[in-house]
A = this chain, B = another copy of it.
């Protein structure tokens, strides 16, 4: 569930959201977007958690991969639907990962 990303540098899209109370179609859309993202060239991994605030971080090989994902037609439609129905507020940040550190229990 922790994304197994390659050695940096790579890119992260940090998507922080507050939902509306409208759940209609949300879960299907959300699952579909993860499924679609995984098929994109340059996709490296995704991590997601929600308890009130939702945080989804997707990881990408380069900015071109992020741009292609942004322009994916189904993704674009889902974003528009999201602003109309599912999200009260969100912030999206695009960041370049330069360092990472791991810990795993023996």
Question: Which residues of A are interface residues toward B (Cβ below 8 A)?
Answer: 1-3, 5, 8, 12, 14, 16-18, 20, 47-55, 57, 83, 87-105
Q: In chain B, what residue has the closest Cβ to A104?
A: B89
A88 vs B89: C-alpha distance in the bound complex, in angstroms?
Answer: 32
Among B48, B55, B89, the residue within 8 A (CB) of A47 is: B55
| Chain B residue, CB-CB nearest to A52 | B1
Q: Is the interface of A mostly helix, strand, loop or mixed?
A: strand
Copies in the complex: 2
A61 to B5 Cα, complex, angstroms? 25
Q: Give every chain B residue within 8 A of A51 (Cβ-Cβ).
A: 49-51
CB <8 Å contact, A57 and B16: yes
Complex interface: chain B residues within 8 A of A3 (CB): 16, 91
5 contacts between A and B (CB under 8 A): A2-B18, A3-B16, A3-B91, A20-B105, A88-B104
In the bound complex, residues from chain B placing their C-beta under 8 Å from that of A102 are: 90-91
